[in-house]
Amino acid sequence: QPDFGPTQRIIFGMGCFWSPEALFGHMPGVVRTRVGYSGGHTPNPTYRDMGDHTETVLVEFAPALLPFRQIVNVFWDRHNPYNINDYKGRQYQSLLLYEDETQRADIETVLEERRKKGLERPDTEIRTFSTFYPAEERHQKYYLKRFPHAFETVMSIFGEHDAFNDSTLAARLNGLAKGYTSLERIKAEIGTWNMGEKERAYILDEISSIRW
């Protein structure tokens, strides 16, 4: 796993959590992603029984590479944040959980910029971080797992599920599996990662061997 320097976190609810994990995962500057349940009070939610929680993606990113306001604009540009038909209720609530007051102020700035562009204020619930309950393993990096050889190759690099799920590589390849990026772009980015040369060569070799 490369060193990206200081990171921040943000939690987004924007419908079924599979796609947003791939969307943010493909973006350079995103360090890792997890899908889970958050925003509610029900203890120990599961997919079958999430109570008042929402499907969310936890995004850890390096603000030096990807500014916070840019991520927030992607969040609003890439889902429907208006409660017009209340589809699936709280499960698919448009939700934004921020980590600190600096982020909150940035969110207000983004909303103001969007208002000036004539965009209607979203119905998104905007609140501080609450407990994030990681979803079941089958939901993590969902699209990458549709490609068994790719999944097995990346698992063989990291050895176990937590390290796999926490890796930047799995996040990018999950974005690729969903069609958000290309292998060429990922390889070019890996060339810039702050890591040992032997490790870099090994990773590039392994991902070149994947049969998609």
Interaction of residue 17 with ligand MHO, rule CB under 6 A = yes
The catalytically annotated residue of 1, 16, 73, 189 is: 16
DSSP line for 147-177: SHHHHHHHHHHH-SHHHHHT-HHHHHHHHHH
* Residue 202, amino acid: Y
Positions in 37-56 near ligand MHO (CB under 6 A): 55
Beta carbon nearer to ligand MHO, 87 or 202: 87
Interaction of residue 126 with ligand MHO, rule CB under 6 A = no
Is 16 annotated as catalytic?
A: yes
What is the smallest separation between the CB atom of 45 and ligand MHO, expressed in angstroms? 13
The interface region with ligand MHO, picked from 6-14, 16-24, 101-109, 195-203 by CB under 6 A, is 16-24
* Residue 178, amino acid: K
* Measured distance CA(96)–CA(62) in Å, rounded: 18
- Whether 94 and 13 have beta carbons less than 8 Å apart is answered as yes
Residues 6 or more apart whose CB falls under 8 angstroms from that of 177 comprise 22, 143, 144, 146, 147, 150
C-alpha Rg value of the chain to the nearest Å:
17
Interaction of residue 21 with ligand MHO, rule CB under 6 A = no
Q: Of 176, 135, 181, 185, which is closest to residue 153 (Cα–Cα)?
A: 176
The interface region with ligand MHO, picked from 2-10, 15-23, 100-108, 115-123 by CB under 6 A, is 15-23
What is the smallest separation between the CB atom of 88 and ligand MHO, expressed in angstroms? 8
Interaction of residue 75 with ligand MHO, rule CB under 6 A = no
Interaction of residue 12 with ligand MHO, rule CB under 6 A = no
Q: Provide the annotated active-site residues.
A: 16
Provide the binding-site residues for ligand MHO, judged by CB under 6 A: 16-18, 55, 139
